[in-house]
Structure 1
Amino acid sequence: MKILTTGGHLTPALAFIDYVLGQSDPEFVFLGRKFSQIENQQRSHESQAIAERKIKFVQFQSGKLSYHSPLQLFAQTWQVLLGFVKATQILKAEKPDVVVLFGGYLAVPVAIASWLKRIPVITHEQTAVASLSNQIIGLFSKKIAVSHTTALTQFPFKKAVFTGNLLRQKLEEKNPTTPSWYKSTEKHPLLYVTGGNQGSQVINATITQILPQLTKDWVVIHQCGAPTKQTNYRQQLQNEMLRLSQPAQSRYYVKEWITEEELTWIYKQASAVISRAGANTTFELQHFGIPTIFIPLPFSHKQEQLKNAELAVKSGGSIVLSQKHLTPETLLAALKTLSLTLGSRRKKMLLHDGNTQGTKKLWKLVKSYATK
């Protein structure tokens, strides 16, 4: 069986690929961006992750489904059309038996081209709120696998099916290796800070202002995101770190990106997390029972990050702090509240641990629609 896949949500795509490779021996083709930032030739996370798995990677680009001016609308529409032509060429060359998509603007022209070539499409929706891209993709899909029952009503009744979100098998490793860069022997609890794959300017700026207080009580691992045209987050944070005392400096680690192996270890060791509220991050933090301060991205589609966070908070283990109310003072106050009740919060979260059979259910669905 040959499976072609792409999508804006890399984490569940990798979870699916790893599970399937562990069950059988299909041939995968992954479409994605070679560079996350073309200007500085920064290699994308998807190209690196796929290369590590020795899967065929085909460079692919398309227009986004958002614009702020008529000129941008024209440019993006043109890019989508070019993406459709490219997708058609790739499908003709690769001849996949089934196409599995994980949302995002890259997947839209692939879905349309696959439908026209009568190749079955299965798409997976990670969030509690259906994304615009997946609502379009759903029109051309045989089935739409959703992670939350709340999303079932947002797609055609006969197409939507609940599978749950997809957990990466690697994260379940019982004895992960300590990252080579982690040298701390402190007994302070571990705090993990992340703004998502791209990092968060707002979270980074706030952390910069409270490093002395944080490193007094915690060992901090901070995933800040890669440099942009405007800002080098890591450099700024490292400069601020140098203002700390030597003992405090040894309790702060700033990384542009955290690998899957490193994250596996962090999830086992972290006492608390400060994070955005992407669908996969909230799912993983819930699964591993790590009390979290969620700072939802306020500009996400239909407030999807806020809704992800609100679902997570229902378990009683986490706190939502809106970006509107985010200040150094409010973040420290929220962290203090969290730290005083870490044990009870973790127990509540583990009692509410959700569906972890998503990969198995999705694979069963994909097999049932493959043409060969």
Structure 2
Amino acid sequence: MKKIMFTGGGSAGHVTVNLALIPRFQEEGWSVDYVGSEAGIERQLAGSLPEVRYHGIATGKLRRYFSWQNVKDPFKVVKGAFQAYNLIRKEKPDVLFSKGGFVSVPVVLGAWLNRVPVLLHESDLTPGLANKIAIRFATGVCTTFPETEAHMRGGKAHHVGAVIREELLQGDAARGRAFCGFTAVRPVLLIMGGSLGARRINQTVRSLLDELTKTFQIVHLCGKGNVDPSLERPGYMQFEYVQQELPDLVASADIVLSRAGSNSIFEFLALRKPMLLIPLSRQQSRGDQILNAKSFQAAGFCEVLEEEELTEQALLQKLSLLYENREQYKANMRKSEMNDALTAVFELIKKTASK
């Protein structure tokens, strides 16, 4: 029996591609293992999958800013690398596929030390810090944007496009509205701040609920621990995070307010959902979401609002503009070419394993 090991975590964006690939390998009879952190969101998402063995290891976050955690986290990374090395030596996978995130670095290193071929996936236009470290130990890197190849050396880049979860394409709008108790008469606004939530977006949206619910029915995915029961009202549904119902909720949306993580925005593109993107600022990130958002804005797929410019008035104006021009955004999206990236990555992993 062929065996594949997946890694990636820290946020849902570092797990979703793995979740899309795992059923493909299970259908062909592969044994599947997943290595992630001991308590991260990847344990919740991947650990609940049938016939997937989840292994938790010690992890330390790779920070670009000063924090006292930077003093002790390297020791966690070293511990995690030893755990990953011993695990991979025991399980002997044919290939490791890494979606990135800080948990992936010790796993990639452990695979390399055991001479297990490693294939990475980079969603954003420029590689993240974890993947920058891991690239030197990898056989190849799957990229979403063709421009990403310019940031890599050694001919390791394979441009495959955006991986879209197949189940997301099967969503039913009527079922999504019924889940929220919404009607088909008024438009639906879907708000996604990411799996960990977005405090600034949450606060601004909630301060505008009276105004927004005059026009929209709102589905608010606000992140873990961010549900506020005092705000419950007709036409406003809030959830920490949804998994099984997500395809139906996205299908029901007329417009979307979101961060600019690559996985999410390409899924909205595939589903022809007009977007208002509020990328993470450079103070909060390395600026990858800003590049993603600008790329989509240039293609006519979205409106963009920088977090530094986020005010109640600015948000209302941008959402109004987006909704008024939604048909033009959909027309632009229909012109985009979306290849079958999921199959391309699937075949590339099998080819890498056969080596």
TM range (shorter): over 0.9
Distance 2:97 2:71 in 1: 28
The 1:278/1:70 distance shift into structure 2, 3 A limit, reads closer
- Could you tell me how far apart the structure 2 residues matched to 1:312 and 1:355 are? 14
Matched to 1:210, the amino acid is L
Aligned-partner Cα distance in 1 for 2:17–2:255: 23
What is the alpha-carbon distance in structure 2 between the residues aligned to residue 301 and residue 361 of structure 1? 29
User: Is residue 273 from structure 1 mapped to residue 266 from structure 2 by the alignment?
Assistant: no
The aligned counterpart of 1:10 is 15
Residue 230 of structure 2: which of 222, 239, 259 is its match? Answer: 239
* Displacement after TM superposition at 1:53 (Å): 3.4
Aligned residues: 348
* Alignment of structure 1 residues 279-358 onto 2, 5 Å: 279-299=262-282, 301-352=285-336, 354-358=337-341
Distance 1:328 1:176, change over 3 A: closer
TM-score by length of 2: 0.93
User: Separation in 2 of the partners of 1:99 and 1:92?
Assistant: 12
1:190 matched to which residue of 2?
188
State how far apart, in whole Å, the 2-side matches of 1:337 and 1:91 are: 52
Conserved? CA contact 1:16–1:166, under 8 Å: no
CA RMSD of aligned residues (A): 1.9
User: What's the CA shift string for 1:62-84, capped at 9, x where partnerless?
Assistant: 11211644743331111111111
Change (3 A) 1:324 1:30: same
Of residues 19, 24, 29, the one that matches 1:25 is 29
Q: For residues 205 and 340 of structure 2, what CA distance do their matches in structure 1 show?
A: 36
1:371: how far off?
4.8
Structure 1 length as normaliser, TM-score?
A: 0.89
- C-alpha distance in structure 2 between counterparts of 1:45 and 1:142, whole Å: 24
CA offsets per residue over residues 129-163 of structure 1, 9 Å max, x none? 11111111110001111111111111124211111
Instruction: Say if 1:25 and 1:277 are closer, same or farther in 2 by CA, change over 3 A.
Output: same
The structural deviation recorded for 1:45 is 5.0
Contact 1:18 1:168 in 2 (8 A): no
Shift of 1:368: 1.4
Unaligned runs of 5+ in 1: 37-43, 228-232, 242-248
What runs of 5+ residues in structure 2 fail to find an aligned partner? Answer: none
Q: Which residue of 1 aligns with 2:223?
A: 225
Q: Distance in 2 between matches of 1:14 and 1:70?
A: 32
SS at 1:290's partner residue? coil
Following the alignment from structure 2 to structure 1, what is the Cα–Cα distance between the partners of residues 215 and 172? 26
- Residue by residue, what CA displacement relative to the aligned partner does 1:158-189 show, whole Å, maximum 9, x if unpaired? 21111112110101216477256421225110
> 1:120 matched to which residue of 2?
117
2:46 touches 2:54 (CA, 8 Å); kept in 1?
no
Q: Which structure 1 residue ranges, 4+ long, deviate > 4 Å from structure 2?
A: 67-71, 174-177
The 2-side partners of 1:171 and 1:181 are apart by 16
User: Who is 2:151 aligned against?
Assistant: 154
In 1, Cα distance between equivalents of 2:172 and 2:264: 21
Kept in 1, the 8 Å contact 2:99–2:122? The answer is yes
Which range is displaced more, 114-123 or 11-20?
11-20
Identity %: 27
Bigger shift: 64-73 or 343-352?
64-73
